[in-house]
Amino acid sequence: MENPLTGKQLTHIEADGRAAMVDVSGKAATVRAAMAGGQVRMLPETLEAILAGNNPKGSAIETARLAGIMAAKQTSHLIPLCHPLPLGKIAVEIQADRQLPGLKIEATVKTTAPTGVEMEALTAVAVAALTLYDMAKAIEKTMQIENIRLLRKSGGKSGDFVAEDGGRGPGLS
């Protein structure tokens, strides 16, 4: 099956349409990195409560940071056809943005492996955002998880990628 945007053969689809895990066993292990970002928009009062530590469930930001790290390590268990990878670095940063208002999340993941870590970085951001929501839903249920996306990646056959805005992330870089 062909990718309609590039005209290239899709790597995870067999000729008969069945999903398949890509065989990377013959590829060399190289250094690969990816950064993803996203945000949780909330009422100013919710943000201030989180920052002041007035959250019924405890430290929302630290719990979300740990959840993001743990999620990156579990990506191959969560996303079909993802390879389990030896992750050398996982960093999840969460910062307040009073202009949003809300919290901005950025995850950076690195490995030396035959395939990339984009999904691990994206999964870290998504789960950190979901955890922030869970930790603060007693304060506000109208929070919005937004703009989860790949900001940049390096290494591998497809080369480097930087988002159109320069991969600056959601205001953290």
Other beta carbons within 10 angstroms of residue 112's beta carbon come to 14
Among the options 16, 23, 97, 134, which is catalytic?
134
Residue ranges of the chain with per-residue pLDDT less than 70:
1-14, 167-173
Does residue 134 have an active-site annotation?
Answer: yes
What's the CATH superfamily of 30-154? Molybdopterin cofactor biosynthesis C (MoaC) domain (3.30.70.640)
Cβ-contact 153, 33 below 8 angstroms: yes
Sequence ranges of the domains in the chain: 30-154
What is the pLDDT at residue 3? 59
Decide: helix, strand or coil at residue 52.
helix
What is the pLDDT at residue 173? 44
Please tell me the distance from the alpha carbon of residue 20 to that of residue 7, in angstroms, as a whole number. 19
What is the pLDDT at residue 26? 78
Other beta carbons within 10 angstroms of residue 105's beta carbon come to 32
Please state the pTM of the whole predicted model. Answer: 0.87
Cβ-contact 106, 37 below 8 angstroms: yes
pLDDT digits (tens, 9 = 90+) for 7-35: 666 566 667 777 777 778 878 899 999 99
